[in-house]
Structure 1
Amino acid sequence: MITKNNLVHHEFIGLNVDVKSKTDKSLNLFGTVIDETKNTFKIESSGQEKIIPKKGSIFTFEIPSGEKVEVIGDILSIRPEDRIKKRFKKI
């Protein structure tokens, strides 16, 4: 079960996300995560796919319980398969 305390150790694909970019305001959007790499998320928004850099962005994910969880993208710049093993500071 995904919770706010263990979100960073789970799969993001399929989650709704609100993106706020610190560097490029044109990347501010709401959509669904459809793919992930070490440094980016691919998000479908309004029928278009956008590639969003993790660094410099703030992501607010909606987890299945309906709760919204904010995560600073800089800490997610790690291969998705390695995220399970990594220990993170409390968010």
Structure 2
Amino acid sequence: MPKRILICATQVPFVRGGAELLVEGLRDALRAAGHSVDVVSLPFAWQPHERIAESALAWRLLDLTHVNAVPVDQVICTKFPSYAVRHPRKVEWLVHQHRQ
């Protein structure tokens, strides 16, 4: 049975890399499997450090249980701080960059 799935993805404006490709690939694979899938993005700035808590709070305040009065079956979170979002059927596909 097809599900309505939202993928939560943190977006750093003007930056595109592996995490974005991973989210697009996940979206495309879930659609190919017959699910209704969309990506929800919020911008993220880690400088100054004081803004990090605000970004996490923005995700926490989102209500993704319903969209247009229709239930969302599953939420898949990816990069920090998207996994702060609340949903009764949330899974985390943790994407973490290690940069030197």
TM-score past 0.5 threshold = no
| TM interval, short-chain normalised | under 0.3
More strand as a share of residues: 1
TM-score, reference length from structure 2: 0.25
TM-score, reference length from structure 1: 0.26
More helix as a share of residues: 2
